[in-house]
Structure 1
Amino acid sequence: MEFLYKVRYAETDQMGVVHHANYLLYLEQARIEWLENKDIKYNELEKEGIMLPVYKIEIEYKKPLVFGESVKVQVQCSKAPDVKIGFDYKLLNPCDEVVAEAKVILVFMSAQTRKPIRCPKHVFEILTA
């Protein structure tokens, strides 16, 4: 699945290039929208006492993104979830050149105990259907 975002001026540094930390915002937004497209909503998970903190992030920057461009974010779940859920990303500029590739791993965690838990059954069933 892919999502398109406009690069905003506030996301760039003095050189007019998207600051490296802002790529995380694109990844997170695409992941949330990807889950919502599968009818899995973050706020509903949180109401159920399930949190999804980031465990690991890897980003390889290949080309700069600049103000005024759009960034296309392609995201997919990397494997069936268990205690962890992983996502693979490709970010492309308007010429469809890969500007970055990323991997993000989240952990299903109980909000009460702050300990890892298995992927909730209803989420697992949706993601493995």
Structure 2
Amino acid sequence: MHTTKVRVRYAETDQMGVAYNVNYFVWFEVGRTEYMRDINIPYKALEGKGIFMPVVENFCHYVKPAMYDQVLTINTKIAELKAATIKFQYEILNGVELLAEGYVRLAFTDKNMKPINLKKVDRELWETLNKYCEADE
């Protein structure tokens, strides 16, 4: 599990200080990007190899609203790894209080958005990602 912190900015909220629902997907991306950077696989390096990861599915279950100026914790994990897709799961918390949970599934593609088999294209990268995968048994 990887942890990242973000502060809810004024621009992310409505007049009552409640964060707009779409921001949770932005925070998911922050968690995913920082996770990948921390395991030494930054997106820029992937794209330099011609490997892209477009979102193909996402889901968020909202439990409680995030409010202006709260410091949120984004917990991120790789929940599933297949040859052509990867699924990240997230929890967004205010302290210990769960605000939202969800997932994003991404495909592995070339620069033309044609799906690729990561196991065949870059076995070392696939093995590294697999090492971090925390799939439920």
TM-score interval, smaller chain: over 0.9
Matched residues, number: 127
Shift of 1:54: 0.2
| Corresponding residue for residue 77 of structure 1 | 78
Cα distance in structure 1, aligned partners of 2:76 and 2:82: 15
| Corresponding residue for residue 99 of structure 1 | 99
**Which has the larger displacement, 56-65 or 43-52?**
43-52
Cα distance in structure 1, aligned partners of 2:15 and 2:58: 25
Counterpart mapping for 1:87-126 below 5 A: 87-94=88-95, 96-112=96-112, 114-119=113-118, 120-126=122-128
Counterpart mapping for 1:1-129 below 5 A: 1-94=2-95, 96-112=96-112, 114-119=113-118, 120-129=122-131
User: Scaled by the length of structure 1, what TM-score is found?
Assistant: 0.93
Provide, for residues 19-44 of structure 1, a one-character-per-residue CA deviation record: whole Å limited to 9, x for no partner.
01111111001101101111101011
Cα distance in structure 2, aligned partners of 1:57 and 1:127: 20
Cα distance in structure 2, aligned partners of 1:79 and 1:24: 18
Helix, strand or coil at the partner of 1:88: strand
| Corresponding residue for residue 134 of structure 2 | none
Shift of 1:122: 2.3
Shift of 1:3: 0.9
Provide, for residues 22-72 of structure 1, a one-character-per-residue CA deviation record: whole Å limited to 9, x for no partner.
111110011011011111010111111111100000000000010110110
Shift of 1:81: 3.5
Gapped runs of 5+ residues in structure 1?
none
Helix, strand or coil at the partner of 1:128: helix
User: Scaled by the length of structure 2, what TM-score is found?
Assistant: 0.88
Which runs of structure 1 show a deviation greater than 6 angstroms over 4 or more consecutive aligned residues? none
